Amino acid sequence: MIFLILSIFCSVITVSFFKIFERFKVDTFQAIVGNYFVCVITGNLISEKAIINTEFWNEPWFPFTILLGFLFITIFYCIAETTQKLGVSVSMVAAKLSVVIPVLFAVLFYQEQISLIKIGGITLSLLAVFLISKKDKNTSSITKNSWVLPLIVFAGSGVIDTLIKFIESKFIPLSNAGNILSTAFLVAYILGMFFLAYQNIKHNKNIVTKNILWGFALGVPNYFSMFFLVKTLENFNASHIFPVNNIGIVAFSTLASLLFFKEKLSKINFSGLALAIVSIILISLT
């Protein structure tokens, strides 16, 4: 279980970086692009067969990694924005409750059976996202439409999980999952560089070394949060690991937000957090 603990630890560190970026006035998008460069390099260094030595563009799953790479960079940026505007706990609850979407996908497209318990969990999860996102109206940084960001994170994270499950079941054995992820990271990096080039040409916005270096630091825990999760799945059943992983990330990211970033949660937010944990358990029950 040491790999699962390390995965949760790296995930909490990853999301905590976004609060640090806010404090040190780091351009979040530039840092995220730098992060994906490190993810690609790290993945190639520890992989038995590096993607840079393969014709990955000829693989049947490559078109799907283009979509996956686009989702990686856009949803990761939305998670960063949610973290900075609404808090660590909100972003992680929205991201981890997205387990609802692959469950619904399996029911609709693979005709998997769904129990009343799972339906109850799905219903509670939607309520949990709303409650954990509800902030004090007097908070100056909160706008009337602040619920939109968590909703995008919720939907986008769910689509990412669903797409990864689809790719793995359709095209590859689990042993090649690292190549797909590294390719998606590469696509995310290239798309990010194109956008930064556009900003430079259109708005004369230069890339700042400080932002990229912070991104390099972010890339290490971001990559290993997924790497350690995959290592855990090699030895344990996914239906047991994902609930523990999601609950652990939600709980410890909330604890980190309270202890280190002095975020304040109302009674309504705490009730949403409790519902989130209960809903994850219910959704994961077979």
pLDDT digits (tens, 9 = 90+) for 143-201: 556 678 888 999 999 898 888 778 867 775 655 667 788 889 999 999 999 999 999 99
Looking at residues 14-43, what average pLDDT do you find? 94
CA nearest neighbour of 224 among 49, 18, 46: 46
Residue 223 in this model has a pLDDT that exceeds 60: yes
Give 91-107 pLDDT, tens digit per residue.
988 888 887 787 788 77
How many contiguous H segments (helices) and E segments (strands) does the chain have? 11, 0
Its pTM stands at 0.86
Report how far Cα 148 is from the mean position of its chain's Cα atoms.
17
- 189 versus 86: the higher-pLDDT residue is 189
* Closest-CA residue to 57 (of 180, 173, 195): 180
CA distance 254 to 168: 31
Please say if the pLDDT value at position 126 is more than 80: no
pLDDT digits (tens, 9 = 90+) for 229-252: 878 877 776 666 777 788 888 888
Per-residue pLDDT, averaged over 204-229, amounts to 93
